Amino acid sequence: MTARHGTVGAIARDLCLSYANTRYWRGTDPPTESLTSVADLLRWLGGAAGYDTETIAAAERWGGEDPQAAARLFAEALAIREVVYRLFSAVASGRPVGEDDIRALNRALDAAPERSQIVPTDGGLAWQIGYDAPTAPLLLAPVLWSAADLIVGGKNDRLRQCANDKCLWLFLDDSKSATRRWCDMKSCGNRLKARRHYLKTKQGRGVKPAV
Burial of 64: CB neighbours in 10 Å, binned 0-12, 13-18, 19+: exposed
178 φψ region: left (φ > 0), alpha (ψ -120 to 50), beta (else):
left
Of the listed pieces 17-25, 53-61, 91-99, 187-195, which binds Zn ion according to CB under 5 A? Answer: 187-195
Residue closer to Zn ion by CB (options 60, 184) is: 184
The reply on whether position 170 binds Zn ion by CB under 5 A is no
Burial of 19: CB neighbours in 10 Å, binned 0-12, 13-18, 19+: buried
What is the three-state SS of 94-155? CCCCCHHHHHHHHHHHHHCCCCCCEEEECCEEEEEEEECCCCHHHHCHHHHHHHHHHHHCCC
Residue closer to Zn ion by CB (options 43, 166) is: 166
Strand partners for 8 = 51, 127
CB of 78 to Zn ion, least distance (A): 21
Of the listed pieces 34-42, 66-74, 99-107, 163-171, which binds Zn ion according to CB under 5 A? Answer: 163-171
Residue closer to Zn ion by CB (options 42, 162) is: 162
Rg value, the chain, Cα: 20
- CA neighbours closer than 13 Å in the CB half-sphere of residue 114: 5
Among positions 8, 11, 15, 183, the unique one binding Zn ion when judged by CB under 5 A: 183
Of the listed pieces 7-15, 51-59, 60-68, 157-165, which binds Zn ion according to CB under 5 A? Answer: 157-165
Among positions 129, 147, 159, 167, the unique one binding Zn ion when judged by CB under 5 A: 167
Residue closer to Zn ion by CB (options 8, 168) is: 168
Residue closer to Zn ion by CB (options 61, 193) is: 193
The reply on whether position 188 binds Zn ion by CB under 5 A is yes
Are 129 and 119 spatial neighbours (Cβ–Cβ below 8 Å)? no
The reply on whether position 192 binds Zn ion by CB under 5 A is no
List of residues contacting Zn ion (CB under 5 A): 162, 164, 167, 169, 183, 188
